[in-house]
């Protein structure tokens, strides 16, 4: 009998546990003596257990949850069905575009490789050209120097009574000097392309350099007027580079001036800088051509170039060599009225005014 009661109790406990989530329970103590039950001395005679059934509310909540899950699932399914064609189309488009990009990348890679090969070949050709120009110029300098030396000797030995021979000898000397300048320009340009070292400074008399430039133009010596400031000291700079700068400017001035027109070369210290101006009264340069005159192999007036010779290197070398000195070159020209080139090379500001005791300045 006790076992049956125990089993029944266990069964009831299981039922209670199953309903526990759906019931709200509370306990009310009962005191038969009439007390309130709030005092510790009073005893509780009985307890009333009160239950309230929430199973209907729970079932409604469960139903709403199930409905919400179904609605959400159907909504997601509908969205997937709607977006699937778009996703498929977009994927196909992206794949097609990706394939096109890969194909274009391959084509660009091939073109880039070809361009790199072309650039390498052009650089090799440019090096060969520079090497050839340097070698040819070097080989030509010695015979040209010999020819010019003999021409000067013949000019001295030719009697004044023989003007025809004297003119011929002067023409030989003049053209030889022109070829020497042209060969020198080619050799200097080749050296610059190969990273020619910086200018080598040594004590230099600017006046002597200008006289050498003047004497380097046989047949035009009387046209070249050299003006040197009385306070111009001896400077520490590269005389060869300075000679090439002035010679190219004088050559350009003579080339584009009317026969017999003067060319003025003026050198002096201005604002702690060596300033050399070469001024002519020639054809001038139009404003539109001024930005290009210092470019390599640039010839502004083709007809004049063919008449006077030249390859368009002179002014380019003037700018590059002036930059080697840390200076700059400027040009001021008026069409049909003449041109003035101004070369400015910085030197220390402490210039002695006494020409008898010149101070050595480093350029």
**Residue count (the chain):** 363
Q: Where are the alpha helices (DSSP H) in 44-162?
A: 55-157
Mean pLDDT of 79-87: 87
The yes-or-no verdict on residue 289 having pLDDT over 80 is yes
* pLDDT at residue number 84: 86
d(CA 233, CA 288): 38
The yes-or-no verdict on residue 226 having pLDDT over 90 is yes
Q: Is 100 exposed, middle or buried (0-12, 13-18, 19+ CB in 10 A)?
A: exposed
* pLDDT at residue number 80: 86
Range of the domain at 253: 199-362
The yes-or-no verdict on residue 89 having pLDDT over 90 is no
The answer to pTM > 0.95 is no
Is the residue at 73 inside a domain? no
Please name the residue that has the structure tokens 């003006």.
Answer: 227
* pLDDT at residue number 263: 95
Is the residue at 120 inside a domain? yes
Mean pLDDT of 297-318: 67
Q: Residue 110's pLDDT band (boundaries 50, 70, 90)?
A: very high
Q: Which residue has the higher pLDDT, 84 or 1?
A: 84
Is the residue at 77 inside a domain? no
Q: Which residues contact 361 (CB under 8 A, 6 or more apart)?
A: 233, 234, 235, 236, 347, 348, 350, 351
Structure tokens at 92: 């196909």
* pLDDT at residue number 306: 43
Is the residue at 74 inside a domain? no
Tell me which DSSP letter residue 196 carries: P
The count of C-alpha atoms lying within 13 angstroms of the C-alpha of 262, restricted to the half-sphere facing its C-beta, is 6
CA distances, 222 to each of 12, 181, 217, 219, 225 (Å): 140, 19, 10, 8, 7
244 with 356, same domain: the answer is: yes
* pLDDT at residue number 233: 85
- What is the secondary structure of 159-181 as a DSSP string? -TT-HHHHHHHHHHHHHHHHHHH
Is the residue at 254 inside a domain? yes
Q: Residue 4's pLDDT band (boundaries 50, 70, 90)?
A: very low
Is the residue at 283 inside a domain? yes
The yes-or-no verdict on residue 266 having pLDDT over 80 is yes
Nearest of 206, 273, 275 to residue 242 by alpha carbon: 206
* pLDDT at residue number 5: 40
133 with 252, same domain: the answer is: no
Q: In this structure, what is the dihedral angle of CA atoms 345, 351, 353, 358, given to the nearest 10 degrees?
A: -90
Is the residue at 59 inside a domain? no
Of 140, 168, 196, which closes a domain? 196
Average pLDDT, the chain: 78
Burial state string for 242-267 with b = 16 or more CB within 10 A and e = fewer than 16: bbbbbbbbbbbbbbbbeeeeebbbbb
Total tally of structural domains belonging to the chain? 3
257 with 325, same domain: the answer is: yes
213 with 321, same domain: the answer is: yes
Is the residue at 324 inside a domain? yes
Mean pLDDT of 302-307: 48
The yes-or-no verdict on residue 25 having pLDDT over 80 is no
Tell me which DSSP letter residue 225 carries: E
Q: Which residues contact 160 (CB under 8 A, 6 or more apart)?
A: 166
204 with 335, same domain: the answer is: yes
46 with 116, same domain: the answer is: no
Nearest of 262, 306, 309, 303 to residue 282 by alpha carbon: 262
The yes-or-no verdict on residue 309 having pLDDT over 70 is no
Q: Residue 310's pLDDT band (boundaries 50, 70, 90)?
A: low
What CATH code is carried by the domain that includes residue 143? 1.10.287.130
CA distances, 228 to each of 211, 292, 349 (Å): 10, 30, 18
304 with 228, same domain: the answer is: yes
Of 154, 177, 196, which closes a domain? 196
207 with 181, same domain: the answer is: no
Mean pLDDT of 67-96: 89
* pLDDT at residue number 7: 47
Nearest of 289, 337, 340 to residue 329 by alpha carbon: 340
102 with 147, same domain: the answer is: yes
The yes-or-no verdict on residue 158 having pLDDT over 60 is yes
Q: Residue 184's pLDDT band (boundaries 50, 70, 90)?
A: confident
Of 13-27, 47-61, 187-201, 264-278, the one with minimum mean pLDDT is 13-27
Mean pLDDT of 138-159: 76
Mean pLDDT of 299-315: 62
d(CA 45, CA 163): 162
232 with 253, same domain: the answer is: yes
* pLDDT at residue number 312: 75
What CATH code is carried by the domain that includes residue 222? 3.30.565.10
103 with 32, same domain: the answer is: no
246 with 180, same domain: the answer is: no
Of 82-91, 321-330, 353-362, the one with minimum mean pLDDT is 353-362
């Amino acid at each position: 009998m006790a076992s049956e009661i125990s089993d029944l109790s266990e069964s009831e406990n299981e039922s209670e546990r199953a309903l526990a989530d759906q019931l709200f329970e509370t306990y009310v103590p009962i005191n038969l003596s009439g007390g309130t039950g709030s005092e510790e001395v009073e005893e509780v005679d009985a307890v009333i257990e009160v239950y309230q059934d929430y199973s209907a509310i729970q079932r409604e909540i469960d139903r709403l949850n199930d409905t919400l899950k179904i609605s959400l699932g159907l909504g997601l399914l509908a969205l997937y069905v709607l977006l699937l064609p778009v996703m498929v189309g977009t994927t196909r488009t992206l794949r097609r575009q990706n394939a096109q990009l890969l194909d274009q990348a391959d084509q660009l890679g091939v073109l880039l490789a070809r361009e790199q090969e072309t650039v390498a070949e052009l650089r090799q050709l440019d090096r060969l050209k520079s090497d050839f120009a340097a070698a040819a110029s070097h080989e030509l300098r010695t015979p040209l120097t010999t020819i010019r030396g003999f021409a000067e000797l013949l000019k001295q030995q030719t009697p004044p009574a023989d003007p025809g021979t004297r003119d011929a000898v002067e023409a030989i000397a003049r053209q030889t000097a022109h070829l020497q300048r042209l060969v020198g320009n080619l050799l200097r340009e080749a050296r610059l392309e190969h990273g020619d070292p910086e200018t080598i400074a040594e004590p230099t008399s600017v006046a002597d350099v200008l006289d050498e430039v003047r004497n380097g133009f046989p047949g035009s010596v009387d046209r070249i007027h050299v003006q040197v400031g009385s306070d111009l000291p001896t400077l520490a700079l590269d005389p060869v580079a300075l000679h090439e700068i002035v010679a190219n400017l004088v050559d350009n001035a003579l080339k584009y001036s009317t026969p017999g027109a003067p060319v003025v070369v003026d050198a002096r210290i201005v604002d702690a800088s060596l300033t050399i101006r070469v001024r002519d009264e020639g054809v001038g340069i139009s404003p539109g051509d001024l930005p290009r005159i210092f470019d390599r192999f640039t010839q502004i007036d083709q007809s004049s170039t063919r008449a006077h010779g030249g390859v368009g290197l002179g002014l380019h070398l003037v700018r590059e060599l002036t930059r080697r000195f840390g200076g700059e070159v400027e040009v001021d020209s008026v069409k049909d009225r003449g041109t003035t080139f101004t070369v400015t090379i910085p030197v220390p500001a402490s210039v002695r005014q006494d020409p008898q005791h010149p101070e050595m300045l480093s350029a």
